[in-house]
Amino acid sequence: MPRKGETVEEIFVKFRQVQTLKWQGTKLPEAIRTVGITPVTYYRWRKQYGDLMEIQARKMKDLEEENTRLCRAVSDLTLALDKMILTEAKRNNF
């Protein structure tokens, strides 16, 4: 069963925990395992959210979701327009 991804807040909590453990002298691989994530996940999060503050990351996530919705709407409208053009062409026997 697929697992639901973490929210932005959960990501930042885990990211901060890793940073805190690292600053306390724990080696990075140990800190990552202590928090309960894989190194690949940590580095992906660091690349995606590393320089952002939590509010900026939340806004970015919301914009990505809105972009997905808008892309779907454009796709649906394009399909409807194509269908309308084909039925009009069929009716006029071009």
- What string of DSSP letters covers the chain? -PPPPPPHHHHHHHHHHHHHHHHTT--HHHHHHHHT--HHHHHHHHHHHTTS-HHHHHHHHHHHHHHHHHHHHHHHHHHHHHHHHHHHHHHHT-
The pLDDT tens digits of the residues spanning 17-65 come to 998 898 899 999 999 999 999 999 888 888 887 776 767 777 888 888 9
38 with 84, same domain: the answer is no
64 with 44, same domain: the answer is no
The pLDDT tens digits of the residues spanning 53-67 come to 767 777 888 888 999
37 with 77, same domain: the answer is no
Whether 2 shows a pLDDT value over 60: the answer reads no
Higher pLDDT: 82 or 7? It is 82
8 with 25, same domain: the answer is yes
Domain around 36: 1-51
User: What is the SS3 assignment for 46?
Assistant: helix
pLDDT at 13: 87
47 with 65, same domain: the answer is no
70 with 42, same domain: the answer is no
Say what the pTM is.
Answer: 0.52
